[in-house]
Amino acid sequence: MRILPSGTRALLLELDGVQEVRDWHAALVRAQLPGVVDLVPAARTLLVVTDPARTPAPVHHQVVPVPALDDLARRLRALQPVRGRRPEVEGAHADSSRVLEVPVRYDGADLAEVAALWGCDVAEVVRRHTGDRWTVAFCGFAPGFGYLVADEGGHHWDVPRRDVPRTRVPAGSVGLAGPYTGAYPRASPGGWQLVGRTTLELFDATREPPALLTPGRPVRFVDVT
């Protein structure tokens, strides 16, 4: 792990992969370090954002004093995240601790192609997708789009993206790409293999929180075909 300053208010953790990012994200949610107000996970990094007003070190005419970030870096190095342990989320983050059930009609344009890649029938693809429990590893690409990975003990997922991306993927489309599954909150271009669609409103700017799929949230897909 490398810890790098990111501006005057944050530290960037460079990690080996998405599993380590998940472990560190879970550890920091549990630790509730003083001054840390946001955690932004990605595929190989985790941004730890601080609030100057809540940082315990004294301010020396800086937005966030360097001693405060140095102290935070020492605290981070002292943490020992446990592989595969997920946070017990409370308070303002309680919604993220509940399993989100996503109803899916498995009629995607690429469902048969995914089955052919795996050498199985369509029913087996659906069985695997609904049988595993997934967790939102990080968000990106578009507001409300979550990159979900199967929890340990689930099936091995490795689905290539389409050679030619679609210029328009309908809102609610559920797809696979590499080790990830995800659902498109809005119509947009995309190259994921589409296996179905959901009617859930995944992102609503007037809702709190706006996104249903937030980092660390467990998810199960339910077949409503």
Read off the pLDDT of each residue in 217-221 and give the average, rounded to a whole number: 95
- Spans of all domains in the chain: 2-88, 92-223
State the pLDDT confidence band at 67, using cuts at 50, 70 and 90: low
Q: Which of the four CATH numbers 2.40.100.10, 2.60.40.1080, 3.30.1240.10, 1.20.1730.10 does domain 92-223 have?
A: 2.40.100.10
Q: How confident is the model at residue 54 (pLDDT cuts 50, 70, 90)?
A: low
pLDDT in tens, 93-148: 444 458 999 999 999 999 999 999 999 999 999 999 999 999 999 999 899 999 99
Which of 95-104, 189-198, 214-223 bottoms out in mean pLDDT, i.e. has the lowest? 95-104
What mean pLDDT, rounded, does the chain reach?
87
Binned at pLDDT 50, 70 and 90, residue 59 comes out as very low
- 2-88 adopts what CATH topology? Gyrase A; domain 2 (3.30.1360)
Residue 191 pLDDT: 96
Radius of gyration of the chain (CA): 19
Q: What is the DSSP letter of 161?
A: P
Contacts of 195 (CB under 8 A, 6+ apart): 104, 106, 108, 110, 111, 114, 125, 126, 129, 174, 175, 176
Q: Which position has the higher pLDDT, 80 or 197?
A: 197
Residue 76: closest CA among 17, 5, 7, 140? 5
Q: How much is the pLDDT for 86?
A: 57
Kind and range of the H or E element at 21? helix 18-31
21 — pLDDT class (breaks 50, 70, 90):
very high
Whether 2-88 shares its CATH topology with 92-223 is answered: no
The string of DSSP codes covering 29-56 is: HHH--TTEEEEEE-SSEEEEEE-GGG--
Structure confidence at residue 97 (pLDDT): 55
Confidence of residue 34 (pLDDT cuts 50, 70, 90): confident
